[in-house]
Structure 1
Amino acid sequence: MPAHKTTAADAEALAVSALAFIAGDPVLLPRFLALTGIEAQAIRLAAREPGFLAGVLRFILAHEPTLLSFAEHAGIDPASVGAALRALPDGDELYEAST
């Protein structure tokens, strides 16, 4: 469990990092695009939509090997990804807009 509450800004930064991780992986990117229905050239536009970054973190969390690989790549505790998800809009019912 993270030592401090994850802010929305920290969560967004982690999600952007996760998106870059996905985009740089020749196996993950096609899977992400297929699951989301987003075309590669539309990712930047989609990233501005509410809930997109939460979806990126859900994708990472949905597959433990991907989660562990991303956490190692980012130098973070894997639990940080779940904490970040909860700090984002559409992350879950616990999201508070004041974070």
Structure 2
Amino acid sequence: MRRLLFVLISVSAGCAPWAPAPPAHAVHVFAPAGIESAGSHVPVLYVDEERALYFPDGVGGGGVRHPVVPSPSELVALGRRGDIVIVSLRPSSAPTPTAGP
């Protein structure tokens, strides 16, 4: 028992506390209330720093899903819809958006 305790103390002394680095990006998901009941065919808008992709047939359910690259005016219209999930990827240092009126 002493040998095992000695080994455990030796190993734990060699392990310095490790703090993981903060993530480089934060993921924000905006989903309408009750959207879970719609299943995997809910339209999804994915937005990051460089692009936006719209999946009109959802992203789950097994089949091949082809994204659409929306134009700026289509992005505005999609942002106003209340029946889609919006996934936003932004740098962790960027401020979090607040809900509008």
Sort the TM-score into its range (normalised by shorter chain). Answer: under 0.3
Structure ranking higher on relative contact order (CA contacts 8 Å, 6+ apart): 1
- Relative to the length of structure 2, the TM-score reads 0.26
> Which protein shows a greater Rg?
2
| Structure with greater proportional helix content | 1
| Structure with greater proportional strand content | 2
- Relative to the length of structure 1, the TM-score reads 0.26
